[in-house]
């Protein structure tokens, strides 16, 4: 169980991680078309869920396709999904939005999504900064230091109590 000061450290780290994730979604360019933020739904979906031992950060499930791409033949997108995306981005085309969406979906099913084609199935780096191992290692070190300090204080108090 975490003590009050550890809970504050955890909450601060979780909030900063969420902030960095939202910032990456809004600004990180992972394809030649810019950031993944078009409607703002993905950024707005990022939330923290605290547990007894830490926290989880949740987001809309399609974030996985923006991190690793969607392989050829594995697209779950629909013409309606892509039409909405075209209108939100916005993309200018000489053909109707529905036709463009159908063409994009056909290409996506054949060759994978733009993230897959750009990064050849490797991690796009969308969340590389917010989820960097060094950030988490520093946080763990800070929590360990806090735990040692708390334990030292408790031991000191126990000896003072016995000496009286």
Model confidence over 52-76: pLDDT tens digits? 888 999 999 989 999 999 999 998 8
Model confidence over 80-107: pLDDT tens digits? 999 988 888 778 889 999 999 999 999 9
Give residue limits of the domains in the chain: 4-31+44-60+126-163
What one-character DSSP code corresponds to residue 12?
Answer: H
Quickly tell me which residue has 């629909």 as its tokens. 78
Asked if residue 1 has pLDDT above 60, the reply is: yes
pTM of the model: 0.82
String of DSSP letters for 15-61: HHHHHHHHHHHHH-EEETTEES-SSSHHHHH-EEEE-SS-EEEE--T
C-alpha–C-alpha distance, residues 145 and 140, integer Å: 8
The pLDDT-based confidence of 34 (bands split at 50, 70, 90) is confident
Length of the chain measured in residues: 164
Quickly tell me which residue has 């950030």 as its tokens. 135
Average pLDDT of the residues of the chain: 89
Q: What is the mean pLDDT of residues 129-154?
A: 87
Asked if residue 134 has pLDDT above 60, the reply is: yes
């Amino acid at each position: 169980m975490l003590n009050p000061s550890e809970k504050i450290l955890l909450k601060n780290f979780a909030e900063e991680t969420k902030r960095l994730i939202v910032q990456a979604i809004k600004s990180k360019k992972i394809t030649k078309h810019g950031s993944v933020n078009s409607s703002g739904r993905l950024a707005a979906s990022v939330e923290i869920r605290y547990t007894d031992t830490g926290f989880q950060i949740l987001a809309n499930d399609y974030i996985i396709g923006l991190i690793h791409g969607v392989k050829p033949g594995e697209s779950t997108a629909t013409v309606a999904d892509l039409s909405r995306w075209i209108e939100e981005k916005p993309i200018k085309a000489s053909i109707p939005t529905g036709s463009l969406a159908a063409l994009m979906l056909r290409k996506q099913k054949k060759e994978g999504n733009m993230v897959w084609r750009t990064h050849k199935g490797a991690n796009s780096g969308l969340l590389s900064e917010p989820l960097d191992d060094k950030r988490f290692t520093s946080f763990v070190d800070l929590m360990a230091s806090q735990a040692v300090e708390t334990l030292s204080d408790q031991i000191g108090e126990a000896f003072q109590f016995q000496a009286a």
